[in-house]
């Protein structure tokens, strides 16, 4: 068994593992969307695998030439080990290879760690979407230009 982190495209058999991580990380759940990401954005829907276990995922989507990080999460036992950074960088590289140079995302105003994570990766805050989440919390909208 290898100790390296493997980043690879999501496969349907990863579905339950991705949902488990999603449920542990977020209050809002859209399991139906993940198979759509697989069908429509397979190149930017990635998982991180360590010792045969799925430990994180990123769902990047593309619409009309613009990229969006729909969701990223790392299992709580594996956070702060650079796995999120590797996933995010891999998706940014794929966007770039598709000539997508503008990427957006939304993050909860209270999610300071994710906000710090995105800032560290060159995203800048460009505004607030009031009441974006179903519990009424605002979203901070962030943007990154890929050069």
Ligand X SMILES: CC(C)(COP(=O)(O)OP(=O)(O)OC[C@H]1O[C@@H](n2cnc3c(N)ncnc32)[C@H](O)[C@@H]1OP(=O)(O)O)[C@@H](O)C(=O)NCCC(=O)NCCS
For residue 74, what are the β-bridge partners?
56
State the nearest-atom distance from the C-beta of 93 to ligand X, in Å: 15
Give the residue with the Cβ less far from ligand X, 56 or 94: 56
139 is an interface residue for ligand X by CB under 6 A: no
Of 19, 62, 81, 89, the one binding ligand X by CB under 6 A: 81
We find the least distance from the C-beta atom of residue 129 to ligand X, in angstroms, to be: 13
Stretch in the footprint of ligand X (CB under 6 A) among 1-9, 12-20, 27-35, 68-76? 68-76
Helices (H), the chain: 15-25, 31-40, 83-97, 112-120
Q: Quick one: 30 exposed, middle or buried, by C-beta within 10 A (0-12, 13-18, 19+)?
A: exposed
Is residue 140 a contact point for ligand X (CB under 6 A)?
no
Q: How far is CA 143 from CA 37, 127, 136, in A?
A: 21, 10, 22
Element (H, E) at 72: strand 66-74
Is 4 or 99 the residue whose CB approaches ligand X more closely?
4
User: Number of H helices and number of E strands within the chain?
Assistant: 4, 7
84 binds ligand X, rule: CB under 6 A: yes
Q: Pick one of 83, 92, 140, 142: the residue that binds ligand X (CB under 6 A).
A: 83
Nearest distance in Å: CB 70, ligand X: 9
Tokens of 56: 């994180």
Spatial contact of 29 and 15, defined as CB atoms under 8 Å apart: no
Q: Which residues bind ligand X (CB under 6 A)?
A: 25, 72-74, 79-85, 107, 111, 113-114, 116-117, 120
């Amino acid at each position: 068994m290898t100790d390296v982190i493997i980043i690879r495209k999501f496969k349907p058999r990863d579905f339950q593992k991705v949902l488990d991580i999603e449920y542990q990380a977020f209050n809002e759940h859209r399991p139906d969307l993940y198979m759509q990401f697989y069908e429509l954005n397979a190149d930017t829907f990635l998982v991180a695998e360590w010792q045969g276990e799925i430990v994180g995922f990123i769902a990047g989507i593309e619409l009309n030439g613009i990229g969006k990080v729909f969701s990223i999460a790392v299992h709580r036992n594996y956070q702060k080990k650079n796995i999120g950074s590797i996933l995010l960088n891999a998706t940014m590289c794929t966007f770039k290879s598709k000539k997508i140079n503008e990427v957006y995302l939304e993050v909860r105003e209270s999610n300071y760690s994710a906000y710090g994570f995105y800032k560290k990766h060159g995203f800048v805050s460009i505004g607030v979407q009031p009441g974006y989440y179903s519990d009424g919390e605002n979203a901070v909208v962030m943007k990154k230009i890929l050069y």
